[in-house]
Structures are given as structure tokens and as C-alpha cells.
């Protein structure tokens, strides 16, 4: 999401589509030896090298909700190494889902222990009352017309629609679970709890986030593909 | 909350006060050997004997969100015993907070394992988009006037206000942490994430819950103490 906003002048956002979460998202997690995020002030947090949006979200929460200034270090995403050397570790995606379900003891600077886990989707909700938009679909402005003509956008909308059925989700969860060594139910539940639309609440959450995370960002810079009447806000 | 509604004709609800949560609440948790709540259909769930509201919430979620019919058995609240004999265990309060933080391996019908955890505040949010009101203040109608005259309500509002300051919360968290054997930060964070008001969103969440949970409940039955103009909805 933040990459699309940083390149706002070069892209169109596809309206009505996102990957978002209202409350806990399960795949954008801060693991920490501290029982309260506020105790991470001036402590070091290892940041995944996989996601600019999640890093910006964590920084916004530390600044605006917790009023703390941790030291941030981008590292390879590998929870045991991150928590061996740092008081916190931002981990996203499959690794976050697997590590939170296993929730195993890891080596800390003070011995072996089970880390505390903060779900940034829930933290964002508690600060703003809004969903968090983790991903958007964007197309480069110079090629958008050609993509539209080639049917790419139509295919994207159709496949999002198709991916939301119970059957499609179960098929996806089975493939995903086998790859991660997790129970199918854990993946099915994860997919069911995400949302894939971009309605008024998601747009409000997106706007709030981008205005907090980016200096000099103006919401009006974002251009959505298609006529204004097709937009949901 | 549900007890107040069941005795709606005998009590006044104190306006503006509740204990509520938007998203994860951390102290009303379903522990389960199943990786997805939907897999608990026809399975047995042990229910805490500590809270009628939490039991009604779990039942509403199983029926309305997951479309499953587990077998419910009220038992003594003791997670290891509950999960030794049942596929799920509803645990609330201090025990829920401690067990989710320790997140230890327990004996299951199939050996030792770490249970999956579902936070019912987050589950409710994902179904309704609303906060969940866990507790209300209610006064018996016949004694309300005398309590008002004796300054009881004023004292309650004043102490709720006072309890919301950072200092008061830290003091409470320290006492609470010592008793539970938890880090102070874990208790501070828990208290900070609760809300204690009863505004439009909480009232909407309360209404939705009571209408789902109670047969023949009419929202108009609930009477709030004081003049209608003092209400927040």
C-alpha cells in the first residue's frame, strides 16, 4: 500500500480491491521479550526485510499510539536470530503465521523464553477504530489503458470474486497448509478473516495510515482507475 | 451484561459506563485442539462456570458466524482438565490472560500439544464490526433513587474517571501482576486496551448481542437511569 502511495503520480489504484483486515490479521506480528510495547522505548527492534508497509505501520504505532522511539534495524526475516539479538522482531507473512501458532521458546539475551506477540492489525484498530489496508492493486498509468483493453483488470476482479467462495478458499488453504506444515484449518481461518474489498471503511483506514506514515502526502494525489462514479467513497 | 438484560424489568442501566473491547480482549478466550472453530461442529466444548455473558457470546458466534453446533458442558474453570477431556475450553478472566501468555503444552486426547487460541472479542468484531460490551453497571429500580441520593452513582462515575489515568492504571497493573505472577507490562497493556464508556458504538454492539443471545428480548425493555437527554444514543 505504501509503495503505491509513494508512486502516486505514476500509478492508478484499482478501485474496490485490497487485502485488508479489521482487527487481528495474524500475519503482521511484532514478537518481543517485553510484555508491553511501551517498554520498547530506546530498545532495538529487528525489522523484516519483506514489507515496507508493515514497517511503516509499526513505526506509526510506536510514534502515535505508544509515544516511544525504538531503534530500528532491518534484518533478514528469521525470528530466532532476530530475537537472539533484539528486544523486538517484526515478522510478516507465512513466518508470522507459523511462529505464532507454534509459539515456541526461543533464545533471548536472558535465556530461553516464549515471546509476547502483538498483532498490528489489532493495534491499529485500537488506535483508529478502522481496518488496515495491507495491499492495493495499482497499475502504471502509461500501461493502464492497454491492460484494461487486454482484459487484465476484468480478470483480476473476476478472480478475486472467485477466490472468495468457500470452495476456492478451502483449496487454497490445503495447498498453503501443506507447504507450511500447518493444519488446514489454521490457513482456512486466516484466509476467511481477511477482507478483499476497498469500501468506505477501508479507504478511511488507508487514508489515515498514509497521512501518518508519509510526509507531505496528500490524499488527492491518489488516482483511482475508472470514472469517479465507480468509486466506493 | 446478559444478566442485566434478563432482569431488564427490575433494573436501571447506568448510562455511559461499561467494560468493553473493540477487537481482542485477551480475557475471554476459546482454547481448542482444532485449528479452525468450524471444526468444532458436534465436538464437545467445556464452558467456564464464571460468566454467563461469555458463554452466550460463544454460543452466538458458533450459531451465527460459524454455523456449527458443538456440545456444551459447563465445568470448573481449569484449562488443563478442560482440554484433557474436551476439544474446546472457554476460559475467562485472569486464567485466560495467564494461560494465553504462558501458552504451554497441555495433555490432549492425542498427546501433548499447544492449543489454538481464539479471542472472542476479535471474533465478535469480525462478525459485526462492533465492540463487545462485557459488563454493565445496573441498579435495582426500587433502590436506585436511594443510591443516587447517597452519592453512590456519582462516586462510581468519579472512580471510573480516576481509574482511567495512567498512574491509576499502573498502580492497578502492579497489584494485579504480583497476584498473577505476570509481568507488570502484560497487565498494564490489558487494562489499557479495555474501554469503559458506553457510547453509540458500544450501545450498537450491546443491542446486537442481546438480540442474538436472548429470545424475545426487546431493546426498549432496557431502561437507563436518568433523563433521556443524558443518554449517549
* Tens digits of residue pLDDT in A154-186: 999 998 888 888 899 999 999 999 999 999 999
* A185 contact residues in B (CB cutoff 8 A): 34-36, 38-39
- Interatomic CA distance for residues B200 and B217, integer angstroms: 19
CA-to-CA dists, residue A50 to A65, A80, A90, A95, B49, angstroms: 24, 16, 10, 11, 45
Q: Mean pLDDT over residues A52-57, rounded?
A: 96
pLDDT of A29 strictly over 50: yes
Chain A residues with CB-CB distance to B under 8 A? 22-24, 34-39, 101-103, 114, 116, 119, 122, 125-126, 129, 182-186, 188-189, 193, 201
Query: What's the pLDDT tens digit per position in B4-55?
Result: 898 999 999 999 999 999 999 999 999 999 999 999 999 999 999 999 999 9
CB-closest option in A39, A126, A189 to B193: A126
Count other Cβ atoms within 10 Å, centred on residue B217.
18
Work out the mean pLDDT of chain B and round it to a whole number.
Answer: 93
Q: Which residues pair with A107 in a beta bridge?
A: A112
Within 10 angstroms of residue A226's Cβ, the number of other Cβ atoms is 15
Nearest CA in chain B to A39: B185
Residues B75 and B82 sit within 8 Å (Cβ to Cβ): yes
Residue of A nearest to B103 (CA): A103
Helical (H) or strand (E) element with B129 = none
**Nearest CB to A125 within list B22, B38, B39:** B22
Residues of B with Cβ-Cβ distance to A193 under 8 angstroms: 126
pLDDT of residue B110: 84
Preferred mutation among B33, B34, B35, B65 to probe A, highest tally of A CBs within 10 A: B35
Coil, strand or helix at A113? strand
Nearest to A188 among B36, B126, B201 (CB): B36
Nearest to B22 among A116, A129, A185 (CB): A129
Q: To the nearest whole angstrom, how far is the Cα of A148 from the nearest Cα of chain B?
A: 34
Q: How confident is the model at residue A229 (pLDDT cuts 50, 70, 90)?
A: very low
Which residue among B39, B126, B185 sits closest to A35, beta carbon to beta carbon? B185
**How far is Cα B82 from Cα B86, in angstroms, rounded to an integer?**
6
In the three-class reduction of DSSP (H, G, I as helix; E, B as strand; rest coil), residue B200 is classed as helix
Segment B162-176 shows an average pLDDT of: 90
- From its phi and psi, is residue B42 left (phi > 0), alpha (psi between -120 and 50) or beta? left
Q: How far is CA A227 from CA A17, A203, A231, B43, in A?
A: 15, 17, 7, 51
Å between A224 CA and nearest CA of chain B: 26
Which residues of B touch chain A, with CB atoms under 8 Å apart?
22-24, 34-39, 101-103, 114, 116, 119, 122, 125-126, 129, 182-186, 188-189, 193, 201
Q: Residue B177's closest chain A neighbor by CA? A: A35
Q: What is the mean pLDDT of residues B191-210?
A: 96
CA angle B133, B45, A180 (to 5 degrees): 90
DSSP A114-164: PPEEEEHHHHHHHHHSS-EEEEEEEEEHHHHHHHHHTTHHHHHHHHHHHHT
In whole angstroms, what is the distance from residue B30 CA to residue B32 CA?
6
Flag whether pLDDT at A10 surpasses 60. yes
Q: Spell out which residues of chain B touch residue A103, defining contact as CB-CB under 8 Å.
A: 103, 114
- The average pLDDT across A3-26 equals 94
**B35:A185 CB<8 A:** yes
How would you label A152-185 residue by residue, b for 16+ Cβ within 10 Å and e otherwise? ebeeeeeebeeeeeeeebeeebeebbeeeebbbb
Residue with cell 511501551: A38
Closest chain B residue to A128, measured at CA: B22
Min CA distance, B187 vs chain A (Å)? 8
pLDDT of amino acid B162: 86
Cell of A77: 526475516
Bridge-based pairing state of the strands A132-140 and A11-21 = antiparallel
Per-residue pLDDT at B125 exceeds 80: yes
Candidate from A37, A119, A183 with C-beta closest to B35: A183
Mean pLDDT in chain A?
A: 93
Q: CA-CA-CA-CA torsion for B168, B172, B175, B181, nearest 10 degrees?
A: -130
- Cell of residue A107, nine digits: 533464545
pLDDT category of residue A230 using cuts at 50, 70 and 90: very low
Residue range A56-108, pLDDT digits in tens: 999 999 999 999 999 999 999 999 999 999 999 999 999 999 999 999 999 99
Q: Is B29 left (phi over 0), alpha (psi -120 to 50) or beta?
A: beta
Instruction: Show the domains of chain B with their CATH numbers.
Output: 2-21+133-214 (3.40.190.10), 28-128 (3.40.190.10)
Q: Which of B20, B122, B129, B200 to mutate to test the interface with A (most CBs of A within 10 A)?
A: B122
Query: For the purposes of burial, counting CB atoms within 10 Å of the CB of B85, is it exposed (0-12), middle (13-18) or buried (19 or more)?
Result: middle
Q: Quick one: pLDDT at residue B232?
A: 45
Q: At what angle do helices B93-102 and B184-193 cross, to 10 degrees?
A: 120
Structure confidence at residue A227 (pLDDT): 54
Does pLDDT of B231 surpass 50?
Answer: no
| Contact yes or no for A189 and B36 at CB 8 A | yes
Burial group, residue A38, by CB count within 10 angstroms (0-12, 13-18, 19+):
middle
User: Angle at which helices B120-128 and B52-60 pack, to 10 degrees?
Assistant: 50
- Torsion angle defined by CA atoms of residues B139, B141, B144 and B146, in that order, rounded to the nearest 10 degrees: -140
Higher pLDDT, B229 or A101: A101
- Using CA of residue B27, residue B206, residue B33, residue A114, what is the dihedral sign? negative
pLDDT band, very low/low/confident/very high, at A231 (cuts 50, 70, 90)? very low
Amino acid at each position: 500500500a505504501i509503495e503505491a502511495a509513494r508512486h502516486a503520480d505514476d500509478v492508478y489504484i484499482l478501485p474496490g480491491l485490497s487485502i485488508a483486515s479489521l482487527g487481528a490479521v495474524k500475519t503482521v506480528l511484532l514478537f518481543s521479550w517485553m510484555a508491553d510495547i511501551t517498554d520498547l522505548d530506546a530498545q532495538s527492534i529487528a525489522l523484516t526485510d519483506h514489507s515496507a508497509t508493515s514497517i511503516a505501520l509499526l513505526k506509526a504505532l510506536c510514534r502515535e499510539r505508544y509515544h516511544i522511539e525504538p531503534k530500528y534495524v532491518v534484518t533478514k526475516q528469521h525470528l530466532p536470530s532476530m530475537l537472539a539479538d533484539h528486544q523486538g522482531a517484526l515478522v510478516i507473512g507465512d513466518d508470522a503465521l507459523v511462529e505464532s501458532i507454534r509459539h515456541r521458546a526461543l533464545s533471548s539475551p536472558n535465556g530461553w523464553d516464549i515471546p509476547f506477540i502483538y498483532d498490528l492489525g489489532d493495534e491499529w484498530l485500537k488506535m483508529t477504530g478502522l481496518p488496515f489496508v495491507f495491499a492495493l492493486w495499482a497499475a502504471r498509468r502509461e500501461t493502464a489503458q492497454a491492460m484494461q483493453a487486454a482484459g487484465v483488470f476484468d480478470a483480476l476482479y473476476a478472480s478475486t470474486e472467485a477466490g472468495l467462495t468457500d470452495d476456492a478458499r478451502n483449496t487454497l488453504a490445503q495447498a498453503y497448509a501443506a507447504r507450511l506444515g500447518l493444519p488446514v484449518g489454521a490457513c482456512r481461518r486466516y484466509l476467511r478473516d481477511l477482507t478483499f474489498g476497498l469500501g468506505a471503511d477501508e479507504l478511511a483506514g488507508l487514508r489515515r495510515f498514509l497521512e501518518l506514515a508519509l510526509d507531505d502526502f496528500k490524499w488527492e494525489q491518489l488516482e483511482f482507475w475508472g470514472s469517479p462514479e465507480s468509486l466506493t467513497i
